[in-house]
Amino acid sequence: NAGVMQNPRHLVRRRGQEARLRCSPMKGHSHVYWYRQLPEEGLKFMVYLQKENIIDESGMPKERFSAEFPKEGPSILRIQQVVRGDSAAYFCASSPSSGANVLTFGAGSRLTVL
Amino acid sequence: GQNIDQPTEMTATEGAIVQINCTYQTSGFNGLFWYQQHAGEAPTFLSYNVLDGLEEKGRFSSFLSRSKGYSYLLLKELQMKDSASYLCAVRDKGTGANNLFFGTGTRLTVIP
């Protein structure tokens, strides 16, 4: 049973380009969460999604950032027109559909903006 | 909102015991979690407290006092591999049911 799979593990973009980060939750998990971790800082919640629905996006920047979790395929975090301040590790976590459960994290995608 | 505080760094000796404290403020407390994160890796779940008291799991124990907004993680018989960041996180009823809010983490260094 594979864990939470994130790709790419490392991504380098130039300012103004787009970054797409993908997350496949654990088998049987239908809740996905995205967190951002800046160097020397804690994990900051960005967005919480279920299949085809955004449940809570209170942590998402108002511009340039979007997330989706389609009926088929992985969840995608999309950052348009990246800036240097977007350089961070982006972690995805998933949990089962019922009850309140532990979040299982993926290994993260490290975005570097040149 | 949520406010979570924990020390930034701690150092302890191999074989010793260390206690990492966490204080929190949240409007709708619904559980406290501890995660371990080695540099460059995914956070991994250590413990969960929702009721007051001590939860023991091998060398690791976690304590919660809801009235004081306080938790600690206790690591016994420290090993070099325990050098990592330890993240305190709270779940809030007011947000998505499973959403967690994290502190900045405590970087523990175990020395010989």
> What is the nearest CA distance from A101 to chain B, expressed in angstroms?
7
Taking the alpha carbons at both ends of chain A, their separation in whole angstroms is: 36
* Amino acid identity, position B10: M
Classified as helix, coil or strand, A33 is: strand
Can you read off the two tokens belonging to residue B25? 């403020």
A91 close contact with B: CB closer than 8 A: yes
What pLDDT digit, counting tens, does each position of B70-97 carry?
999 999 999 999 999 999 999 887 665 6
Classified as helix, coil or strand, A67 is: strand
Question: Rounded to an integer, what distance in angstroms lies between the CA atom of residue B81 and that of residue A92?
Answer: 24
- pLDDT at residue A89, rounded to an integer: 96
Nearest to B42 among A45, A48, A107 (CB): A107
Query: pLDDT per position in chain B (112 positions), as tens?
Result: 678 999 999 999 999 999 999 999 988 888 999 999 998 889 999 999 999 999 998 999 999 999 999 999 999 999 999 999 999 999 887 665 667 889 999 999 999 9
Torsion of Cα atoms, A20 then A27 then B104 then A62, to 10°: 40
Are the Cβ atoms of A100 and B42 closer than 8 angstroms?
no
B100 close contact with A: CB closer than 8 A: yes
- pLDDT at residue A104, rounded to an integer: 92
* Amino acid identity, position A39: P
Question: Which of B55, B98, B107 to probe by mutation at the A interface, max A CB count within 10 Å?
Answer: B98
